[in-house]
Structure 1
Amino acid sequence: MSLLAQPLSLCDWSLVTSQNTISARNLTLTYDPDKNPVEVLRGIDLDIASGEVVALLGPSGSGKSSLMAVLSGLERSSGGSLGVAGQDFTTMDEDQLAWARRGRIGIVLQAFHLLPTMTALENVATPMELAGDPDATAKAQAELEAVGLGHRLGHYPTQLSGGEQQRVAIARAIAPGPQLIFADEPTGNLDISTGHDIIELLFKRRQDTGATLLVITHDVELAERCGRIITIGDGLIASDTAAA
């Protein structure tokens, strides 16, 4: 049986419903628990509905990026229960989490993380090709055109501006058609004007696809663009409110 086809155990079906893309209960993350334990997440309870646009707001060191890493499957939690995009992340090892992310979760980071030896088209298409998608190149080209880079398909990252590189990163995240998109400080390496354009693009592509979007930020103005603001403090949810 494929890893992606493995059923959830009966006790975990309540975590993953058609209404919730994410459901977490008492989620914890502790680094170096045996020698010098550092509690990063100290018991997160969280439900995010399908199609929601949510901001995770908080200062540096609050735990918001660590929470994103756990929710996206980049990091295993230390305890608690977690259902994401139809999968029970609680029992998965690192390899299984990597498989579970494919096609389900798109990630846009502050650092663009483009491969310098690959063109824009190759940077977007290659992850889908590795996942066995026979239409990877066509999907990559279509998404690059959707983010305004149809004329830059053959350009390498060093030939692109910072804003263009982040557009490639957004295309790479969205091209597989994920249910869930994470954006961690997506404008952190950009000037104000370019950053504004990138946010407008990210929100538009999310609206076009209907994906759930979590934006990790310390920018209150950006957070208020989202439908819901979750404030993280000292590894806990300090507040959870609808945006004004």
Structure 2
Amino acid sequence: MTNSTTPPSAPNADLAISARDLTLTLGSDAAPVDILRGIDLDIAHGDVVALLGPSGSGKSSLMAVLSGLERATGGSLTVTGSNFATLDEDGLAAARRGRIGIVLQAFHLLPTMTAAENVATPMELAGFEDASPRATAELQAVGLGHRIDHYPTQLSGGEQQRVAIARAIAPRPGLIFADEPTGNLDVSTGEEIVELLFARRAETGATLLIITHDPALAAQCDRVLTMADGVIVSDERGSAAPSSDALKSNAAEAAE
């Protein structure tokens, strides 16, 4: 179900994200493709939210829009107090800087930089004067203090993802997005990464929105959103995380 609360006249200080009738249409005018079809969503500061749904349901697209990596076609969107609907590309980049952390399946580490440099460089660009010592401290916190001078090709997949998490969290952002952060990892390493991500988020008090196909992981979250065919079809608390069969049922219902 979608949130039908009346849009506020001003950003609600209790909300990290507030979206109304959010749409995303791609393709040409002759052949438009509706990716997001009227999303209404409020997420409170400090919430841990799971986003579930079958492939092609719009999960990654919604995260891209909410994080400012993709511009919505229509609707209103306020994120961390900024009106994302009215900002240009430079404005969106500035709004993300130091305020929003993003962890993706593809680690996106710069191969010519060490682990420490990969973590420190975004903070340096954002104007953090203590970028280098903060990067070192964050890498130590994720168990990579002995690997700070290693390059990505010298790190395992799990270690690279730890670097990506350190990079996302080091600026102490108020909002963290994680798109299937364990998708390229084995089960054991994936479990370690999830524990690490949750622990580091808890220490900072940030809001976390995580895309996952795993109902067990979703059940650890405060809230579970399920998407199908570009809309939110259910919104439950973590203990009510839907099973895989329920996800398939929701998707079938949305397609009818």
**In the alignment, does 2:123 pair up with 1:142?**
no
Please report the RMSD computed on the Cα atoms of aligned residues, expressed in angstroms.
Answer: 1.1
Tell me, in whole angstroms, the C-alpha distance in 2 between the residues paired with 1:19 and 1:81.
17
Question: Kindly, what percent of the aligned residue pairs are identical?
Answer: 73
The aligned length equals 233
Report if the CA contact (8 A) 1:120-1:153 is conserved: yes
**Structure 1 residue aligned with 2:24:** 29
Consecutive aligned runs of 4 or more in structure 1 exceeding 6 Å deviation: none
Q: Which residue of 1 aligns with 2:34?
A: 39
Q: TM-score, normalised by structure 1?
A: 0.93
Of the structure 1 ranges 47-56 and 134-143, higher mean CA displacement relative to structure 2 is found in: 134-143
Aligned letter for 1:69?
Answer: A
User: Greater CA deviation, 182-191 or 213-222?
Assistant: 213-222
Match of 1:125 in 2: 120
Match of 1:189 among 173, 184, 189: 184
- Comparing 30-39 with 120-129, greater Cα deviation is found at 30-39
Gaps of 5+ in 2: 1-6, 240-256
Matched, 1:109 2:111: no
Tell me which amino acid in the other structure corresponds to 2:124. Answer: E
Matched, 1:166 2:161: yes
Map of 2:60 onto structure 1: 65
Counterpart Cα distance in 1 of 2:136 and 2:8:
37
Unpaired runs of 5+ residues, structure 1, are: 1-11
Measure, in 1, the Cα distance between the counterparts of 2:173 and 2:200.
12
Matched, 1:217 2:215: no
Deviation of 1:33 after TM superposition, in Å, equals 4.8
Distance 2:104 2:163 in 1: 12
Q: Deviations over 1:31-84 (max 9, x none)?
A: 025231000000000000000000000010000100000000000000000000
- Residue-by-residue CA offset, 1:94-123 (whole Å, 9 max, x unaligned): 121111100110000001110000000000
Question: TM-score normalized by structure 2?
Answer: 0.89
Aligned to 2:224: 229
Distance 2:184 2:125 in 1: 28
Q: Which residue of 2 aligns with 1:3?
A: none
2:132, 2:11 → 1: CA distance?
32
Cα distance in 2 for residues equivalent to 1:188 and 1:139: 28
Deviation at 1:217, TM superposition (A): 1.2
Is 1:239 the counterpart of 2:207 in the alignment? no
Moved more, 214-223 or 120-129: 214-223
Does the CA-based 8 Å contact 1:15-1:82 persist in structure 2? no
Aligned equivalents of 1:16 and 1:104: distance in 2?
16
Which deviates further from its counterpart, 151-160 or 30-39? 30-39
Tell me what 1:8 maps to.
none
